């Protein structure tokens, strides 16, 4: 199952949404539900603390009142618990700098299991959580790898600069790598954010 989560930030472009809507169940996080609806998309459920929704969503809301984590974290964990294996997040750009950093921090708090992708105007962030995955990254495309938690075994294969079972913490060490084929194998024993440039 695949979910499309619409946040309350800058609306995604049509280009960003290409290929994301078909076959996905759309969820709005608070005011993101209004933005998705106003853009012509059918939202199946509104998640969050519901403090910024304006339209009538009677019978379509699930309140997540716990204030110890963000609405994004609570929503992604709920969807993971419901069995969604792929979760695409849009509308996560814009707003305050702290909110944007919070979106990446959320990747550390969400349960392991589902593939989570944050879709930005200029890139897509893939979360790697204690696993090894092959990412489709076209040859010559630039990408960056950031360790969101300290990792003792990070592997990157199929890139201009490969690393094998190396330690990596939050730093610029993984900034601006380049794919050397159409797939790059990336893994770690911790949590990575892999930011792939849009081409």
Instruction: Output the domain CATH number for residue 149.
Output: 2.60.120.320
Reference 36, options 88, 1, 78; nearest CA is 88
Whether residue 116 sits in one domain with residue 22 = yes
> Do residues 107 and 138 both lie within one domain?
no
Euclidean distance between CA atoms 72 and 163, whole angstroms: 32
Residues 103 and 27 in one domain: yes
Q: What is the mean pLDDT of the chain?
A: 96
Question: What are the residues facing 48 on neighbouring strands?
Answer: 63
pLDDT of residue 52: 87
Q: What is the pLDDT of residue 66?
A: 87
Domain of residue 96, residue span: 2-121
Question: How far is the C-alpha of 112 from the C-alpha of 85, rounded, in Å?
Answer: 10
3-state class of 142 per DSSP?
Answer: strand
Structure confidence by residue, pLDDT tens digits, 99-136: 899 999 999 999 999 999 999 999 999 999 999 999 99
For 130-148, what is each residue's pLDDT tens digit? 999 999 999 999 999 999 9
Domain boundary at 82, 98, 121, which? Answer: 121
- The model's pLDDT over 153-198, given as tens digits with 9 standing for 90+, comes to 999 999 999 999 999 999 999 999 999 999 999 999 999 999 999 9
**Higher per-residue confidence, 56 vs 189:** 189
Domain count, the chain: 2
> What is the model's pLDDT at position 40?
95
Pair (99, 137) in one structural domain = no
Of the residues 121, 153, 169, the one at which a domain ends: 121
Whether this model's pTM surpasses 0.85? yes
pLDDT at 30 over 80: yes
CA 22 – CA 150 distance, rounded (Å): 36
**156's tokens:** 């990157």
pLDDT tens, residue by residue, 67-87 = 899 999 999 999 999 999 999
- Any idea what the CATH number is for the domain that residue 90 is in? 3.40.50.10240
Instruction: Supply the pLDDT for residue 48.
Output: 94
101 and 33 co-located in one domain = yes
Classify residue 165 as left (phi > 0), alpha (psi -120 to 50) or beta: left
* Co-location of 153 and 72 in the same domain: no
Residues 117 and 132 in one domain: no
**Residue at a domain's end among 66, 101, 121:** 121
Same structural domain, 31 and 71: yes
Same domain flag for 82 and 18: yes
User: What is the average per-residue pLDDT within 42-70?
Assistant: 91
Residues 22 and 91 placed together within one structural domain of the fold: yes
Q: 169 and 112 in one domain?
A: no
Question: Is residue 192 domain-shared with residue 97, that is, in the same domain?
Answer: no
> Residue 63: how many CB atoms within 10 A of its CB?
12
CB atoms within 10 A of CB 180: 16
At 56 the pLDDT is 83
- pLDDT score of 62: 94
């Amino acid at each position: 199952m695949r979910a499309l989560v619409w946040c309350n930030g800058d609306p995604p472009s049509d280009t960003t949404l290409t290929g994301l809507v078909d076959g996905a169940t759309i969820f709005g996080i608070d005011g993101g539900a209004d933005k998705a609806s106003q853009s012509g998309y059918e939202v199946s459920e509104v998640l969050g603390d519901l403090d910024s929704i304006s339209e009538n969503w009677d019978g379509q809301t699930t309140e997540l009142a716990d204030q110890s984590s963000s609405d994004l974290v609570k929503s992604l964990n709920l969807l993971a618990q419901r069995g969604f294996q792929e979760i695409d997040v849009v509308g996560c750009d814009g707003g305050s700098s702290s909110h944007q950093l919070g979106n990446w921090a959320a990747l550390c708090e969400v349960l392991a299991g589902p593939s989570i992708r944050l879709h930005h105007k200029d890139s897509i962030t893939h979360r790697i959580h204690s696993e090894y995955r092959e990412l489709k990254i076209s040859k010559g495309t630039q990408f960056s790898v950031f360790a969101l938690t300290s990792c003792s075994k990070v592997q990157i294969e199929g890139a201009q600069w490969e690393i094998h079972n190396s330690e990596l913490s939050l730093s610029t060490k993984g900034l601006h790598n380049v794919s050397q084929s159409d797939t790059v194998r990336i893994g770690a024993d911790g949590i990575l954010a892999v930011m792939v440039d849009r081409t």
